[in-house]
Structure 1
Amino acid sequence: MRKNTTLMAALSVAAMIGLSACGQSQTSEPEETSQSKVSFDSLSLDNAWVKAADEGMTAVFGELKNNSDEDITLIGAEYDDAKEVQLHETLEDNSGGMSMQEKKGGFTIPAGESLSLKPGGDHIMVMGLKKPIKPGEEISLELVTGGDQTFPVTATAKDYSGAQESYAPGEADGDHGDHEDHGDHSDH
């Protein structure tokens, strides 16, 4: 009986050593994803512009281009002179109009392709402006990808009115379904 107990203990120790060795061989650095390998010029926002606004909200538009051979997901954007920046999509609502909502998961731009950010469609929403954006002014913002890389872009401000969308319920400053409650955003 004592030999069996000693043998079982020895086998248990050997198994634990073997398992821990297996675990150690798999704890190497995680494999990098294609999102973390994109080069500085892999993503661009061509013909970028922002709707001029004195306060409240505005939006950034342009041609978002993936210049690489890997898909890139834009998960956000940053603008120092705003409280918040979101990626928005515009969808048809049940009343035949258009409704905006935050794009969960961001925009994936396939390798070598582009995505149009335009009034009445997908766009970068800038909310809670800390200072006015005047026509002709250039603003700088950072595009953020799924690999946590940032890409600096500039957008030129211009006057624009059009694309009458509303928020999906629960978007923006509260549960508002009517775009008129949201300042300058109603006419981007």
Structure 2
Amino acid sequence: MNERTAGSGRAGRRPGGPDTRGEILGAARKAFADKGFSSTSIRAVAREAGVDAALVHHYFDSKDELFIEAMAIPVDPRQIAAEILDGPREEIGRRIATVFLGIWESPEGQQRMKAIFRSVVTSDEVARLMREGITQMIIQPISRTLDVPDAHLRVSLAATQLIGAAMARYLVGLEPVASVDLATLIDRLAPVLQLHLTG
């Protein structure tokens, strides 16, 4: 019997209640923090929440989706990867800058991203979770499509460039990076990112 078809009447497992989804998310955050992204399973989260695995699948289609919601990520990392990869290879640097900084430009996105960044720098557990999840859902898919030596290193270097720009603009308020218009910032970052990725 697989996770999705396991019976919900199994001993020790309770049916869903009004806040079952929230309890599953809480259990997922704990499981991800204790074991990391790779070692956490839907069954482990179900055990932690005291529900059947089928009930976890009722609320969340996959472990990726569970991770995204548990960490309150404002966008789906898989969608980010798809948008970045959808277009000419010689423009991938611009697409990465546009997609990543675009998340920060919306008020809700900026609020959530600030919370995530601050959690990452103050919590080793959160940092590990984000590193594992983002690596699997964004960095690895992009690396596989580049077809260049040291692709993983190249994508990681591009990520450091973007993270630094985001921290300077949205967290530290470093001028003139903080106040320059978004189009100009993307214009300046895009060639540098492209060099990291394909140069």
What is the TM-score normalised by the length of structure 2?
Answer: 0.25
| Structure (1/2) with the larger helix percentage | 2
| Structure (1/2) with the larger strand percentage | 1
What is the TM-score normalised by the length of structure 1?
Answer: 0.26
Q: Which structure has the larger Rg over C-alpha atoms?
A: 1
Q: Select the structure with the greater relative contact order (CA < 8 A; seq sep ≥ 6).
A: 1
